[in-house]
Structure 1
Amino acid sequence: MSTFIQLHLLTAYAPSNLNRDDLGRPKTAKMGNSNRLRISSQSLKRAWRTSEYFYQSLSDNIGIRSRRFARELVYKPMVEQGIVDKIAKESAIKIAEQFGKLKKEKTPKDPLDNLDIEQLVHISNDEQRAIAQLVEQLINEKRVPTDDEVKLLRKQNSSIDIALFGRMLADSPSFSVEAACQVSHALGVSSVTIEDDFFTAVDDLNNKDVDAGSAHLGERAFASALFYTYICISRDLLLENLNGDEALVEKTLKALTESATKVAPLGLQNSFASRAYTSYLLIEKGTQQPRSLAVAYFKAICSEDLVNDAITRLEQQLDKFDKVYGQCADSRYVLNTETGTGTLTDALDFVVQK
C-alpha cells in the first residue's frame, strides 16, 4: 500500500489579483451556487518550485522548464567559444529534437526562434549536466554531435521539481515521469465580488499652471478571499522518482510544505503586497485512499468570523468522513494560528516522519 501525505490549507489574502485570466481579472470558479475566487494549481506550483525554500537546500536538484534551452545551453556557448554559426545551429537543432518537436516558422521574428521547441519541457539537472559535457566536447573538437551522442534523455532523475510535478514527453514516453504530488486549485470559501481599481499617474514635471491632468489612466480588478488548498503526495512514488534517496525526499517534503504555507503567487505583488501565511494547516499521513475536504465549502460561508468558521467547517467535515468511512488517516498534525496550536517547525518534522 502506498503512503499518502495530505495537506489541507486555509490562507487569507487581502484585496489582490494573484492569478489573472485572459482579461487580466482575478480567476474565478463556480462552486456550489456561487462564484469563488480561484488561484490555479499551475500558478501555485510555479511559485513554490521557484521559491527560496526550494533553492536554499535543493539548488543542485532543481531542473529547468523551457522551450529555449537549445539556444541558451548549446548555441550561445558554442558561438561564444568561436564555433562557426552553422555547426552551432546544427548542434542545437539535433539536441533540441531529443526533447520535443522544433518550431518551424517561415518568417521568425528572431533567427534563433527555429532552435526552440514547440512546447515547454522540463529538463532535469542530470540532463543539463549531460548537455554541458557534450557541448564542451563539441567545442573542443569543432564539430556537430553524432546521433548516439544526442541521446541525452535520462530515466534516472534527481530533480525534485520533476519528481513532484511530473514530466510528459509525448515523443519519448519512456522518459516521462509520473507526478508524485497533486495540487488542487485554491478556491475561496465564500462568494466573491470582483471590484475595479481606477487609478491615475501624475507626471512629476507637469507645469500645474498649464497641465494639471494625469499622464496615465489605468484600471485593475481585484478581490479578497480565504482560500482552501489541497495537496496530495504519494511518498512512495516520490521516493521512486528520486531513485530511493531518502534524504532528498525529506528535504523535498519540508521545502514543499514550507513553501505552501508561506509563498504566494507573484501576480501584481507590487500593486497589492498580497503576501500571506497560512492560518490553518492540517497534515494527514496514512495508507488510506486520499480525499479532499473541499465539500465543506460547497455552501459558501457568510459570516463575520470567516477564518474560524472555515476551520470549524473543515474539522466537522473531517469528522463526518471518519465516522462513515472509518479513520481516514493514521496520524494527523494541526497548525492553527487562531488558537496558537502547533508550530511550523513541528509540522515540518511531522511531515517527514515515516
Structure 2
Amino acid sequence: MNNLTLHVLNTVPFSNLNRDDTGTPKRAVVGGVLRGMLSSQSIKRAARSDYEARSLDKSIRSVNLGGIIADRALEINPGLDPKAAAAAAKKLVSALVKNAGGEEKEGKESGTSSWLSLEEIETAAAAVATGAEQGPADLFSEPGVTGSLSIAAFGRMFAANPNLNTAAAIAVSPAMSVHKAVIETDYFSTVNEDPKAEHGGAGFLGVASYTSGVFYRSVTIDREQLKRCWTGITADTARAQLELMVEALIYKLPSGKKNATAPYVAPLVVLAEEQSYRLAYDFETPVLPGSDGGYGDPAVRRLAEQREAALEFDKGNFGIALAAGTAAGLENFSAETTGVDGIVTAVVDWILQ
C-alpha cells in the first residue's frame, strides 16, 4: 500500500484563522449549508513554516529570486559587478518562470513567484559569482528532485520549464466545518487616552468577523513519490526531519488573528490509515449538535461510522490504522489507540520502509 492518510478532527474556537479579501473567515457551501473553511494553501504554509523553523531545512518562495541570488553572489564575490550579477541571476530565474507581468523594470520584482531551496539558491549564486555558464537544469541533481523536504512534500511548478517541476508527495485538503457555520460580527473600538483630548471615548470604531466549529481535514502521503523526489530520504537526518514534518501536519493551523483569540486546541481525533486508494471522509450531511450541545461528540461518532462503512465496503483497501486524540470513543475506530507520539513514529516508520 503506497498511501497513508491522516484524518484530523479539530475544534476551532471563536477565531478568524484564514480570511478572504474582505476580512471575513473563508467559507464554502457544502451539502446545501454554509461551512467554515481553512484553505489547503494556508494549512500547508503553516506546516511548512513550523517545519522549517524547527528543522533549519529552509527554502524561499519569492517573486524576487533573481535579486536574492544576485545578493548572495555578491557576498561570495564582492568584486563582482552588481549589474552583471543581477542580469545573470535574472536570466537564470527567467528560464524557470514566466514573467506574468511582462517586461521587468529595473529595481522591480517580476511578479512571478517561484520556490527554491537554500541549497539550490547557493548553487545558482555560486555560478553567478564565478561567471560559470549554467542552465536552469544545472540547479538540480536531476529533474523533479530536491533536497528540501518542504518542496518535495508540497510540490512546485516552473512555468517556463515544466520538465523540472516537482510533483507533490503530500496532498492536503482544506479544513471544512462538519456543520453549518455562523459568521459572527464583533464590534470593537480603541480608546483615545489623551487626557487633553477635546472629545474622550473611542478614537476608532470598527468591526471584525469570526467563526467557530469542528473542522475536518485530511493529509495523504504518497510514499513512493516522496522517495522519488526527496534526496534527503537516505540521509542520517531523514527520521528527525520527517518527525518534525508529520508533527507540523497534525498540529499546525493558519495563524490569522491568533493573538486576538485562543484558536488552538488539541485535536479531537487523529486517525492514520494505510490505504491502497487514497480516500478521505466527508460530512456532506451537516452534523447536528449533541443533546448537551456542541458538535464534537457527534462529529467523532460520524467519523467512526464512516470508517466502519468504508471497511465494510472494501476492507482490502486498508492496512495499518492508529487513532489518537482527546475525544471519547476512540475505541470505535477499529484501530490501535495511541498518543500523538505513537502516530508520528508509526507514520515515519511507514515512510522509511
Q: Same fold (TM over 0.5)?
A: yes
From 98, 113, 124, the equivalent of 1:120 is: 113
Q: Which amino acid aligns with 2:127?
A: L
CA displacement, residues 120-141 of structure 1 (integer Å, 9 cap, x when unaligned): 1111333112023224324xxx
CA displacement, residues 46-71 of structure 1 (integer Å, 9 cap, x when unaligned): 000001x44323x23x3221111211
Q: Which amino acid aligns with 2:120?
A: E
1 CA distance for matches of 2:343 and 2:266? Answer: 14
1 CA distance for matches of 2:146 and 2:195? Answer: 59
What is the 5 A alignment of 1:19-58?
Answer: 19-51=18-50, 53-57=51-55
**Residue in 2 that maps onto 1:142:** none
State the shift of 1:102 in Å: 3.6
Structure 2 counterpart SS, 1:276: coil
**Residue in 1 that maps onto 2:61:** 65
CA displacement, residues 224-256 of structure 1 (integer Å, 9 cap, x when unaligned): 011000111101111111137245654444223
Q: How many residues align?
A: 336
CA displacement, residues 100-147 of structure 1 (integer Å, 9 cap, x when unaligned): 134666795xx411xx33421111333112023224324xxxxxx54x
State the shift of 1:185 in Å: 0.6
2 CA distance for matches of 1:180 and 1:96? Answer: 24
What is the 5 A alignment of 1:168-179?
Answer: 168-179=157-168
**1:101 counterpart = 2:88:** no
State the shift of 1:24 in Å: 1.1
2 CA distance for matches of 1:121 and 1:91? Answer: 17
Q: Indicate how the Cα distance of structure 1 residues 244 and 130 shifts in structure 2: closer, same or farther if over 3 A, else same.
A: closer
State the shift of 1:299 in Å: 2.8
What is the 5 A alignment of 1:173-212?
Answer: 173-207=162-196, 210-212=198-200
Q: Which amino acid aligns with 2:96?
A: F
**Residue in 2 that maps onto 1:158:** 147
State the shift of 1:308 in Å: 1.6
Maintained 8 Å contact 1:126/1:157: no
Q: Indicate how the Cα distance of structure 1 residues 212 and 164 shifts in structure 2: closer, same or farther if over 3 A, else same.
A: same
2 CA distance for matches of 1:100 and 1:265? Answer: 28
Identity rate of aligned residues, in percent? Answer: 26
Q: Which amino acid aligns with 2:264?
A: R
**Structure 2: gaps spanning 5 or more residues:** 331-336
CA RMSD of aligned residues (A): 2.5
State the shift of 1:78 in Å: 2.8
CA displacement, residues 2-36 of structure 1 (integer Å, 9 cap, x when unaligned): 51110000111111111111211000111112110
CA displacement, residues 297-333 of structure 1 (integer Å, 9 cap, x when unaligned): 5333333142121111001100011112224311100
Q: Indicate how the Cα distance of structure 1 residues 334 and 297 shifts in structure 2: closer, same or farther if over 3 A, else same.
A: farther
Maintained 8 Å contact 1:25/1:221: yes
**Residue in 2 that maps onto 1:224:** 212
2 CA distance for matches of 1:85 and 1:56? Answer: 34
**Residue in 1 that maps onto 2:334:** none
Structure 1 counterpart SS, 2:318: coil
1 CA distance for matches of 2:280 and 2:101? Answer: 43
From 131, 150, 170, the equivalent of 2:124 is: 131
**Residue in 1 that maps onto 2:341:** 345
Structure 2 counterpart SS, 1:221: strand
2 CA distance for matches of 1:150 and 1:241? Answer: 17
**Residue in 2 that maps onto 1:242:** 230
From 258, 263, 280, the equivalent of 1:274 is: 263
Q: Indicate how the Cα distance of structure 1 residues 73 and 106 shifts in structure 2: closer, same or farther if over 3 A, else same.
A: closer
2 CA distance for matches of 1:43 and 1:239? Answer: 25
Q: Which amino acid aligns with 2:265?
A: A
Maintained 8 Å contact 1:96/1:102: no
Q: Indicate how the Cα distance of structure 1 residues 7 and 85 shifts in structure 2: closer, same or farther if over 3 A, else same.
A: same
Q: Which amino acid aligns with 1:78?
A: L
Maintained 8 Å contact 1:100/1:169: yes
Instruction: Give the TM-score normalised by the residue count of structure 1.
Output: 0.86
Maintained 8 Å contact 2:28/2:34: yes
**Residue in 1 that maps onto 2:278:** 290
Q: Which amino acid aligns with 1:94?
A: K
**Residue in 1 that maps onto 2:6:** 7
Runs of 4+ aligned structure 1 residues displaced above 6 Å come to none
**Structure 1: gaps spanning 5 or more residues:** 139-144
Q: Indicate how the Cα distance of structure 1 residues 264 and 149 shifts in structure 2: closer, same or farther if over 3 A, else same.
A: closer
From 290, 302, 305, the equivalent of 1:316 is: 305
Maintained 8 Å contact 1:184/1:230: yes
State the shift of 1:202 in Å: 1.2
CA displacement, residues 188-246 of structure 1 (integer Å, 9 cap, x when unaligned): 011111011111111222436x3213211121100101100011110111111113724
Instruction: Give the TM-score normalised by the residue count of structure 2.
Output: 0.86
